[in-house]
Structure 1
């Protein structure tokens, strides 16, 4: 099943972002550290490249990701032209404060009262962009919630007399080219729940976890035989949790919700769903 999600308000947001890009010095793209490539919006890359804008990639939610894999991604992105990448967690108060300094370094010709540094923050829905905005501005100006597409309109913020920050709504793109990316985005709660079936996404997630992090799965769910497939994992979780059975079958839907929520909340462990090497295959 191919997962696609492009709500109507994102069409207008995309057009507005393209117009604003003309007046921007640095693009701040917020990615999910657990799936940095899947959470890249190709439109952001195209717009910043067309305008030759400096690009700061923020691997947010790094406190939930595998640190060794995150280091690989930082190295990968830092090898790209006009690009700087860092990993942060918005839960750590001091980390977002690094961003303004890094943006200044990427556009040293700006940053005065006559020529203020103009930044635009972009990213897919529910990647932590609003939380990051609030941390940078040191006040609550953006709504925060554990659901995609809360911010609907572009907003401009004057940080001081030499810095301006433009906030954009979380944006997807019209067609997700790689089917696997759709599953990773859904697993990370970046896509509206009406666009996918939780059990399908949980089966895809379980396959990755069983292959890459079997010990974490074994420890979290007390699995005796780790040599099971992802559907078997959901059956095991359903039986372990003693969910009511449907026609003598395990309640896979409830088990899928458990697996997805445990992953999203970091209860299984520090996990990265993709690596730079996996994107080159």
Structure 2
């Protein structure tokens, strides 16, 4: 899947992030819990250097709980603090505050010894588009401090937001990387909506998503769409889904575009089930 998805403003975004790093005590790197590795921008490690970091695996309500544990063990083995959250219902947010205070305790103690007291903890939040950064900020702040949207790239510029627990967050636009060389990662990003749907062939995308789900979560597919999978090709399975969902055009022809949108939308909203697409 060849996708030209690197807008011109991304170079400026990277420069802005580098210039803002001295202003913060810790970096929050937000990943999609369904695709932790695919949603991790490899540039971020180089950008933030040795700055304390907390990885926040968002959308944990949509990911497989057993796989969540495996990813937690993986990051623990790398000595990278992590927390799983569902920013929509605020699950796990207290863990963010708790782990932040632990990670920057030494620095805050040094500031207090210098006579600097009650200074807010300052954090920068980073992540690729559509991992739920803005929703997470809104949940942490208890108000609509950041614009949100279901399309990647809603946040356009840096903005500070006051958070409970004496915390201030510097929001940044979603940061992409120039070239997607790994096909599976590109597909994972497309499946979850990190790449704008306008850049994609929705029927091809849904076909490849369905093919993947049949392979790793066959029972969830069968249950969601009340269909049979054995001895059926992916194309025939898609036909079954289309007929069961009434995706039929005049003359009885199957509306594959509508069926494709249904499958992709069901996956993104967790209607098929709790799904993680990759393991450590």
TM-score, length basis structure 2 = 0.89
> In the alignment, is the contact (CA less than 8 A) between 1:26 and 1:120 conserved in 2?
yes
Structure 1 pair 123/169, CA: closer, same or farther in 2 (3 Å)?
same
1:197 aligns with 2:207: no
Equivalent residues in 2 for 1:166-205, closer than 5 Å: 166-205=170-209
Q: Of 197, 214, 219, which aligns to 2:218?
A: 214
Structure 1 pair 2/104, CA: closer, same or farther in 2 (3 Å)?
same
Q: Quote how far apart the aligned CAs of 1:272 are.
A: 0.7
Q: Of 52, 55, 68, which aligns to 2:53?
A: 55
1:98 aligns with 2:102: no
* Cα RMSD, aligned residues only: 2.1
Structure 1 pair 77/161, CA: closer, same or farther in 2 (3 Å)?
closer
CA distance in 1, matches of 2:44, 2:220: 35
| Counterpart residue number, 2:74 | 76
> In the alignment, is the contact (CA less than 8 A) between 1:9 and 1:152 conserved in 2?
no
CA distance in 2, matches of 1:74, 1:171: 24
Where 1:62 maps in the other structure, the secondary structure is coil
CA distance in 2, matches of 1:243, 1:127: 30
CA distance in 1, matches of 2:255, 2:166: 57
1:29 aligns with 2:29: yes
> In the alignment, is the contact (CA less than 8 A) between 1:30 and 1:57 conserved in 2?
yes
Q: Quote how far apart the aligned CAs of 1:154 are.
A: 1.0
Moved more, 118-127 or 245-254: 245-254
CA distance in 2, matches of 1:116, 1:173: 31
Mind listing any 5+ residue stretches in structure 2 that lack a counterpart?
Answer: none
CA distance in 2, matches of 1:160, 1:38: 31
> In the alignment, is the contact (CA less than 8 A) between 1:97 and 1:135 conserved in 2?
no
CA distance in 2, matches of 1:217, 1:80: 34
> In the alignment, is the contact (CA less than 8 A) between 2:134 and 2:148 conserved in 1?
yes
TM-score, length basis structure 1 = 0.89
Q: Quote how far apart the aligned CAs of 1:249 are.
A: 5.0
Mind listing any 5+ residue stretches in structure 1 that lack a counterpart?
Answer: 277-281
| Counterpart residue number, 2:44 | 44
1:262 aligns with 2:266: yes
CA distance in 1, matches of 2:31, 2:261: 24
Moved more, 83-92 or 64-73: 83-92
